[in-house]
Amino acid sequence: MAAGGLRPGSVVGPDARAAGRAAGAAGTILAVSDEIDERLLSEVRSESTADVRLILSCGDLPPDYLEALADRFRVPLLYVRGNHDGRGDRTPPGENVDRRLVRVGGLRVAGFEGSMWYNGEGVQFTEQQMWWRVLSLRPAVWWAGGVDVVVTHAAPHGIHDGQDRAHVGFRVFHSILRRLRPRYLVHGHNHLSYVSKGTRSTVIGRTEVVNAFRSVVLPIDRGGP
């Protein structure tokens, strides 16, 4: 798949801006999920978020908070819903990328909402249901010539996920890593306190799998938005 402006194996977190600048990056992505990060709305913007060009929400955040982020950063906001985002809730600002592929600047971004089914409430899917959802997006990815960033709520099975039914990841997401090979797969759902040693980032092949719990900053190479 053709590169679309992102570099695999990038540094994530507070040092993303400096690392990206050293590597010739053109801005950053701010990814958020599950818990409000008050630092993002403080009066003085931190250096790590000074070059944000795109916001990604991985779900389970209040629409008012996402609206505040969109107003503060004045950049495109793409999102998927989490398992606690009820179907009757107010629609968040930005663009829902669930089972869709959209272009933002030089990036091709796709997404999948929800968690593994565990009690039928909220936005939940069985493994088989998610398999069909992933399969349904393949034609759009083929037509676009690939995908650069995949945004999900749940993690891939065995990567940053939990042991209980509610927090286990989807096995089908490994087909995304093997066949679609995005530069980033960004997820939420699993609070870092749920995961052994609080793993934030894991590189699988050419893809960096990143847990966006609360917030994380990811660098974009030249050619991104």
| 180-196 tens-digit pLDDT | 999 999 999 887 765 55
pLDDT tens per residue across span 86-110: 766 678 889 999 999 999 988 999 9
pLDDT for the residue 191: 77
CATH topology for 16-221?
Purple Acid Phosphatase; chain A, domain 2 (3.60.21)
pLDDT tens per residue across span 69-87: 999 999 999 999 988 887 6
pLDDT for the residue 194: 58
Question: 122 falls in which pLDDT band (50, 70, 90)?
Answer: confident
Q: How many CA atoms lie within 13 A of 26 on its CB side?
A: 11
What is d(CA 148, CA 34) in angstroms, rounded to the nearest whole number?
Answer: 23
pLDDT tens per residue across span 18-41: 444 433 457 999 999 999 999 999
Considering only residues 26 and 222, tell me which one the structure prediction assigns the higher pLDDT. 26
Mean pLDDT of 105-126: 93
Cβ atoms of 212 and 25 closer than 8 Å = no
Cβ atoms of 156 and 180 closer than 8 Å = no
CB atoms within 10 A of CB 89: 12
Question: 9 falls in which pLDDT band (50, 70, 90)?
Answer: very low
Share of the chain above pLDDT 90, in %: 64
Considering only residues 222 and 42, tell me which one the structure prediction assigns the higher pLDDT. 42
Burial of 165 (0-12, 13-18, 19+ CB in 10 A): exposed
CB atoms within 10 A of CB 145: 10
User: Residues 37-72, buried b or exposed e (16+ Cβ, 10 A)?
Assistant: beebeeeeeeebbebbbbbbbbbbbebebbeebbee
pLDDT tens per residue across span 38-65: 999 987 778 889 899 999 999 999 999 9
pLDDT for the residue 121: 85
Q: Please state the separation of Cα 45 from the chain's center in Å.
A: 22
pLDDT for the residue 31: 98
